[in-house]
Amino acid sequence: MSSNGQSDIALLMRGLREPLSIDEARWERLLRIARASGLHARLAAANLDKATTTDVVRRHLLSSARIAAYRAQMVRAELFHLTPLVTDDFPVIVLKGGAYILQGRALAEGRFVSDVDLLVPNAHLRAMESRLRAAGWQPEKLDPYDERYYRDWSHETPPMRFPGHSLEVDLHHAITPVTGSLAFDPASLFARSEPIPGTPFRALCAEDQVLHACLHCFHDGELDLRVREVVDIDGLLRTFAARGGFWDRLLARAAELGLQRPLWYGLHFARNWLDCPVPSAVPDALPAPHTLSRAAMDALVPLAMLPPDPDFPPSLHVRVARTLMRTRYHLLRMPLQLLVPHLARKTLRRLKARLDRRAEAPTEDGAP
Amino acid sequence: MSSSPYRLLDVGAAQLAVASEIESFHAHLDLVYPHHEAGADGVFADVRVRLLPGSRFRLRGRQVALWADGLRPFEPYPYDCALPLFEWGSNYLLSRRLNAYLLLHAGVVARGDRALILPAAPGSGKTTLTCALHLAGWRFLSDEFGVIDMDSGELLPMVRPAPLKNRSIDVIGMRPGAMLGPLFPKTRKGDVSHFVPDRDSFLARHRRATPALVVFPRFQAGAALQCTPVHRAQAAMRIGLNSFNYQALGPLGFQAAVALARRTAAFELVYGDLDDAIAHIETLFGDVS
């Protein structure tokens, strides 16, 4: 399926779960595709202390594990700084990576988190935003168009950052774009959320965490090299699988929120790629996508999401697949009458930026 | 699609592999890595990159791009600047992957196995001083990375060509024994030419050294030589500041910086004349020996 060797991908997927016994040359190749897809520290989590690796392989695994540990520490620090802003007048939910870390989930080990995502009820979004500003977080400088894009069409506010902190805070009021076809009222997310012990934050309930991961993977952004999102889905499912009644609750919740399609794809790829132990009755209970969509997704998703041959630039197949998946994402995100002007505007601006850059002297940061 | 074979460069603390169909790039590599013999592939490389030529018909001149692991991490360079792109790009990649070590941003030279570490910010004349010391008889370990094994506190050499910039090119080029690669005029960092470390340093690239002295150098045109001892606590913090991964290593980085500051004396050296600086460093080094 992928332009990369099937065996490389299979080995990567296996290496995320169990120690591998392979020679240095294979390790090098594996580390390279893992790095390209942001999975190298996950590989380290499963292999660092267990496998019979040589010194040089160990050094690279150690290096990745250390960076992941540092980044996780930065997430904890950011959430610690945010703690005083969370009072009991409205719930603040930590989404995705931040939650996995605070909840001590196994899948958090070696998982890179790039920002802190918070979900608050829409009615309190402005209040939370002003609290952040009053406490020193500053919004990214945006032009009026981007500002409006975030406010009206997106489900989050422009990213905010405390000066000197390495992570951004994204404030969400929903987990789907408000203009997208999957938009739903997020009220029940709060109603079903769970406290995170020892913190004032809350997390989505288990089923909603899975559904959010599926939504995020297949409906919220580019798919380029994002196999790690499927690894998240797999990790969550493995965490919750043994809980009594989990699968039934998951199916019921997907139906309630209208998220059966993203769930179907999440289960499909988690099973295909990672042998995720999903009882076969679960996907059978979901309405399957049309044969054509399914065939298209089966052809394109692996090309777009899996790391390609590390020795070469991505092949034409891969680039076409990535573009098609990006187009799909935009179409799902907003109706055409909004999308066309939006993309036209973005393209023009990118062209203008390129021309401006040419006019200026090229600059480059000196480091290292 | 091209599939030129990888060329392996063992620089001591790391193994580099690079493939390219660009002939001038290989000619340049031969000039700045003259002691390397062609090694067989199949070895684990810490960094494996491919330098691919851009379109011949680009209006604003042909370019070259560096590809690593299926990604292109940097903007392309002009076609004839493949060597500076490889040197800069592979160093950048190394700086992100060698977190098994404490990585100082420092020049390192040694007398035998006793090392002098020169940690400094970009623009302080670190590379120039490192090359000048090497030409004055010191073993060259690195002009960019102080690679510290945190278990033993020892330094690992990373013997790569040292990129001299602008005026430093003549300053070092005119010294007896200096061997420089081709001149790349008007790159993004000004004129660049690579200084080639000698064969003995290359052959000793797997021989570790023990830290003996830390000097924070700062070149200042016309300044009289001024040398101030740096207190241990200060030195530890400044070592941390001049490191690629001190922060990311957390307590490990802190302990390693403190351990280094404890075992070696540290000085700050402001100088306007290279030979004065070398003479003074010889004296300081003699005192700690």
> Closest to A368 (Cβ–Cβ): which among B42, B123, B244?
B244
Q: Which amino acid is at B244?
A: F
CB A85 within 8 A of CB A132: yes
Token pair recorded at residue B260 = 């280094």
What confidence score (pLDDT) does residue A143 get?
A: 75
Mutate to test the interface with A, among B1, B71, B148, B192 (most CBs of A within 10 A): B71
Under an 8 A CB cutoff, do B69 and A35 touch? Answer: yes
Under an 8 A CB cutoff, do A25 and B98 touch? Answer: no
CB A186 within 8 A of CB A175: yes
pTM for the whole thing? 0.90
Tens of pLDDT, residues A225-253:
899 999 999 999 999 999 999 999 999 99
- ipTM score of complex: 0.94
Mutate to test the interface with A, among B16, B20, B69 (most CBs of A within 10 A): B69
Token pair recorded at residue B141 = 């370990």
Helix (H), strand (E) at residue A219: helix A206-219
Under an 8 A CB cutoff, do A63 and B249 touch? Answer: no
What confidence score (pLDDT) does residue B1 get?
A: 46
Q: Which residues of A touch B45 (CB under 8 A)?
A: 28
Taking the C-alpha atoms of residue A315 and residue A321, their distance in angstroms, rounded to an integer, is 10
In A, minimum Cα distance to B90 occurs at A368
Chain A nearest CA to B69, separation (Å): 4
Name residues of chain A where pLDDT drops below 70.
Answer: 1-6, 51, 149-155, 179, 334-340, 342-343, 354-368
SS (H, E, C) chain B: CCCCCCEEEECECCEEEEEECCHHHHHHHHHHCCCCCCCCCCCCCCEEEEEEECCCCCCCCCEEEEEECCECCCCCEEHHHHHHHHHHHHHHHHHHHCCCCEEEEEEEEEECCEEEEEECCCCCCHHHHHHHHHHCCCEEEECCEEEECCCCCCEECECCCEEEECHHHHHHHCCCCCCEEEEEEEEECEEEEEECCCHHHHHCCCCCEEEEEEEEEEECCCCCCEEEECCHHHHHHHHHHCECCCCCCCHHHHHHHHHHHHHCEEEEEEECCHHHHHHHHHHHHHHHC
Name residues of chain B where pLDDT drops below 50.
Answer: 1
Chain B nearest CA to A313, separation (Å): 5
Mutate to test the interface with A, among B44, B51, B142, B249 (most CBs of A within 10 A): B44
Q: Which residues of B touch A55 (CB under 8 A)?
A: none
> Closest to A63 (Cβ–Cβ): which among B71, B75, B100?
B100
What confidence score (pLDDT) does residue B162 get?
A: 97
Under an 8 A CB cutoff, do B50 and A311 touch? Answer: yes
CB of A255 less than 8 A from some CB of B: no
**Dihedral, B239, B241, B246, B250 alpha carbons, nearest 10:** 110
Q: Is the dihedral of CA A131, A136, A137, A142 positive or negative?
A: positive
What confidence score (pLDDT) does residue B288 get?
A: 85
In B, minimum Cα distance to A34 occurs at B69
Q: Which residues of A touch B1 (CB under 8 A)?
A: 312, 315
Tens of pLDDT, residues B43-89:
899 999 999 999 888 888 899 999 999 899 999 999 999 999 999 99
Token pair recorded at residue A18 = 């169990």
Token pair recorded at residue B202 = 């290359």
Chain A nearest CA to B148, separation (Å): 13
Residue of B136, B147, B144, B149 whose CA lies nearest to B164: B144
Q: Which residues of B touch A24 (CB under 8 A)?
A: 43-44
